[in-house]
């Protein structure tokens, strides 16, 4: 009987978002798709794939660059969206607006006491739901991030020793007791901390940010808002909420699923789940509550929330993997060739494993198709791995000399640049007095300098194998501390955007894709073979070859251009610019390439 009564007292309410999370991007992609279709261009299919991928993503994106984490979004399309967004902002200075203002859920509760003798028709009136647009003044949710920040700054400003501002660390520490969510760590299934709201407070003109490091203070509007929150009786974080009185207060549910500011006290929100489908539905289960012994004077009604977050690592329709803070480990992966000895270095067999074990470094020995060391983030439950944007190639001085002579030096640097990882590290290790090498020490030093200056690598020189392992151990601890509070999302190598260590959401590729895409024996395109052939010519670097391939993707295109130019073909490539300095390839290299492909006798 009790179970039947409990079921009758529950009512499931499904609310539908009025707008998708990225309406402008969807609108522009739809326009570009229709325009391409009217011209008969194949670009219509590219826009259609990007539009489908965008509609499956449940979160708002702030710029076209942020779309790079999605499938079917390349650099060119992201740039087009950013340009369109800049044009839109020039004509609409008021901005795009906050989606959370477009969705308001109001629950109207019956003031009748919930006694056991209440009739069934009256029970049904307790769950009536209506959806209305919120035109009221902005008011932070109780015990939310904005609520805690405004009250903290207001209370500190009243103290006689207040310096006029608070730093980020001070503000986070002082505001934490007033907030239900963490200011520093992401909750499971969430992409934002309580600190993420500081941007919105600054845009609303409630908080000022000055200087570097940042100093935060209240504006006049922010002080008025904080005083308003204080007058409403919301200043005490430990004030009890039990035995609240029945009242008719709307629930303001934001699009990010945060707790409501207030609700009718005779309704408990026992389960809230956001489904990431195309139509963006929000499902709330409501249960009736005994309303005896009420206290009408209490302003904050009783709310019990049990938010059910999505899994700590989930796969969407396109197999996207998410890793959330606190639920993964940063592990150093060591190429197995570094632990078995090579090139006659049998005395180093097992030295790498022994040194890393003594230093207490979390590592694994595995076959790597490129590089000697990389770092991965591994989920503690599912074991899925995402590769951090760091790769290390270790060279001992004698091995460096041999690799320069047989061509492995240039090839390995080229393959590291093609790996898709952003931070390339070349670890050069001294070998005794460095005299027993096949090349002079000055030549090896110049090669290391060129690697750093010309190829834009980070070059680290160590005095011994032990110091090299210490460097890797320190790097492992540094990466673990720097990325422990980040959220990672998997991304295909072709769509991988540039990331920064300060970003809260970072796109990485999976380890399986990294190893597969960097394999030497994979099927090569004609353009890849043409690139490798050009790299063997003296004076050609990766940047120069890429610039040539942009104009002439294959050897057939280049030979056709030579035939069309005739005797002037020697200067065909001289005016092509390359690199970030935008320099010309020059007539000497252009003449050498022309002679190599046109002369029968070399």
Give the pLDDT confidence score for residue 13 in this predicted structure.
56
Q: Is the pLDDT of residue 284 over 70?
A: no
Q: Is 439 helix (H, G, I), strand (E, B) or coil?
A: coil
Q: What is the mean pLDDT of residues 321-327?
A: 89
Do 505 and 588 fall within a single domain? no
* Residue 138 banded pLDDT, cuts 50, 70, 90: confident
Q: Is 205 helix (H, G, I), strand (E, B) or coil?
A: coil
Do 439 and 357 fall within a single domain? yes
Q: Nearest to residue 507, comparing CAs of 323, 383, 332? A: 323
Q: Is the pLDDT of residue 477 over 90?
A: yes
Residue 313 domain flag: no
pTM for the predicted model, two decimal places:
0.44
Do 330 and 401 fall within a single domain? yes
CA distances from 81 to 368, 382, 599 (A): 37, 35, 47
Residue 303 domain flag: no
Is the model more confident about 102 or about 33? Answer: 33
Q: Of 498, 517, 536, which residue constitutes the final position of a domain?
A: 517
Any idea which residues carry the catalytic annotation? 335, 338, 372
Describe the crossing of helices 555-565 and 587-598 by its angle, rounded to 10 degrees: 100
Do 439 and 549 fall within a single domain? no
Q: Of 99, 125, 153, which residue constitutes the final position of a domain?
A: 99
Is the model more confident about 286 or about 462? Answer: 462
Q: Are 348 and 355 in contact (CB under 8 A)?
A: no
CA distances from 210 to 162, 217, 218, 438 (A): 16, 9, 11, 58
Do 62 and 129 fall within a single domain? no
Structural domain total, the chain: 4
Residue 18 domain flag: no
Give the pLDDT confidence score for residue 424 in this predicted structure.
95
Give the pLDDT confidence score for residue 69 in this predicted structure.
84
* Residue 240 banded pLDDT, cuts 50, 70, 90: very low
Residue 350 structural domain: 322-517
Joined tokens for residue 111: 């003031």
- Of the segments 192-201, 400-409, 477-486, which one has the largest average pLDDT value? 477-486
Is the model more confident about 394 or about 244? Answer: 394
Do 570 and 504 fall within a single domain? no
- For residue 93, the domain's CATH number is 1.10.150.110
Q: Is the pLDDT of residue 285 over 70?
A: no
Is the model more confident about 310 or about 181? Answer: 181
Report the mean per-residue pLDDT for the chain. Answer: 76
- For residue 186, the domain's CATH number is 1.10.10.10
CA distances from 433 to 172, 399, 429, 463, 475 (A): 53, 14, 11, 10, 27
Q: Nearest to residue 194, comparing CAs of 171, 210, 226? A: 171
Rg (CA), the chain: 31
Do 250 and 161 fall within a single domain? yes
Do 33 and 65 fall within a single domain? yes
Q: Nearest to residue 458, comparing CAs of 466, 445, 448? A: 448
Q: Are strands 385-396 and 363-366 parallel, antiparallel or unpaired?
A: unpaired
Residue 308 domain flag: no
* DSSP per-residue letters across 100-118: GGG--EEE----S---TT-
Q: Is the pLDDT of residue 84 over 70?
A: yes
* Residue 345 banded pLDDT, cuts 50, 70, 90: low
Residue that has been written with the tokens 């708002």 in this structure:
60
Q: Of 37, 69, 99, which residue constitutes the final position of a domain?
A: 99
- For residue 552, the domain's CATH number is 1.10.150.670
Q: What is the mean pLDDT of residues 191-203?
A: 86
CA distances from 185 to 478, 483, 600 (A): 18, 11, 67
Residue 373 domain flag: yes
- For residue 356, the domain's CATH number is 3.40.50.10130
Q: What is the pLDDT of residues 102-133, one digit of tens each?
A: 433 333 333 333 334 444 444 444 344 444 44
Q: Is the pLDDT of residue 511 over 90?
A: yes
CA angle 264, 267, 272 (to 5 degrees): 110
Do 141 and 269 fall within a single domain? yes
């Amino acid at each position: 009987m009790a179970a039947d009564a409990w079921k009758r007292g529950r009512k499931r309410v499904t609310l539908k978002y009025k707008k998708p999370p990225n309406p402008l991007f969807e609108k522009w992609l739809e326009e570009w798709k229709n325009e391409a279709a009217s011209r008969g261009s194949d670009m219509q299919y590219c826009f259609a794939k990007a539009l489908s991928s965008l509609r499956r993503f449940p979160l708002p994106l702030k710029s076209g660059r942020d779309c790079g984490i999605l499938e079917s979004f390349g650099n060119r399309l992201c740039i087009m969206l950013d340009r369109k967004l800049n044009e839109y902002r020039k004509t609409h200075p008021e901005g795009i607006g906050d989606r959370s203002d477009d969705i308001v859920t109001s629950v109207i509760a019956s003031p009748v006491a919930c006694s056991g003798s209440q009739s069934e028709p009256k029970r049904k009136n307790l769950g009536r739901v209506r959806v209305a647009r919120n035109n009221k003044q902005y008011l932070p949710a109780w015990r939310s991030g904005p609520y805690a920040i405004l009250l903290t700054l207001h209370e500190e400003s009243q103290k006689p020793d207040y310096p006029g501002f608070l730093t980020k660390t001070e503000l986070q520490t002082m505001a934490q007791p007033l907030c239900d969510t963490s200011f520093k760590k992401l909750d499971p299934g969430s992409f934002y901390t309580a600190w993420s709201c500081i941007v919105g407070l600054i845009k609303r003109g409630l908080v000022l940010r000055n200087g570097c490091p940042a100093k935060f203070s209240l504006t006049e509007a922010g002080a008025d808002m904080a005083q308003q929150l204080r007058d409403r009786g919301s200043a005490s974080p430990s004030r009890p909420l039990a035995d609240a009185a029945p009242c008719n207060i709307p629930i303001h549910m934001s699009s990010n699923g945060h707790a409501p500011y207030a609700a009718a006290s005779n309704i408990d929100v026992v389960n809230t789940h956001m489904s990431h489908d195309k139509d963006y539905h929000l499902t709330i289960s409501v249960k009736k509550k005994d309303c005896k012994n009420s206290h009408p004077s209490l302003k904050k009604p009783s709310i019990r929330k049990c938010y059910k977050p999505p899994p700590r690592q989930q796969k969407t329709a396109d197999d996207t993997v998410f890793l959330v803070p606190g639920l993964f480990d940063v592990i150093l992966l060591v190429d197995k060739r570094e632990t078995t000895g090579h090139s006659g270095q049998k005395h180093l067999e097992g030295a790498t494993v022994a040194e890393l074990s003594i230093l207490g470094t979390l590592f694994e020995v595995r076959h790597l198709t490129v590089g000697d060391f990389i770092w991965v983030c591994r989920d503690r439950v599912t074991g899925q791995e995402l590769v951090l944007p760091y790769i290390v190639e270790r060279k001992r001085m004698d091995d460096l000399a041999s690799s320069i002579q047989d061509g492995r030096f240039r090839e390995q640097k080229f393959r590291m640049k093609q790996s898709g990882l952003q931070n390339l590290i070349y670890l050069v290790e001294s070998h005794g007095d460095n005299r027993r090498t096949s090349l002079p020490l000055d030549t090896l030093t110049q090669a290391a300098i060129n690697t750093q200056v010309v190829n834009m690598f980070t070059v680290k020189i160590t005095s011994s194998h032990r110091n090299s392992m210490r460097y890797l151990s320190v790097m492992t601890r540094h990466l673990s501390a720097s990325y422990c509070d980040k959220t990672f999302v998997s991304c295909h190598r072709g769509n991988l955007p540039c990331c920064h260590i300060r970003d809260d959401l970072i796109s990485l590729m999976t380890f399986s894709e990294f190893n597969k895409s960097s394999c030497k024996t994979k099927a090569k395109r004609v353009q890849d073979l043409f690139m490798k052939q050009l790299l063997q010519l003296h004076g050609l670097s990766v940047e120069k070859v890429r610039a040539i391939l942009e104009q002439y993707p294959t050897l057939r295109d280049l030979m056709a251009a030579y035939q069309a130019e005739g005797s002037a073909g020697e200067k065909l490539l001289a005016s092509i610019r390359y690199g970030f300095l935008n320099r010309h390839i020059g007539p000497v290299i252009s003449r050498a390439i022309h002679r190599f492909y046109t002369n029968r006798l070399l």
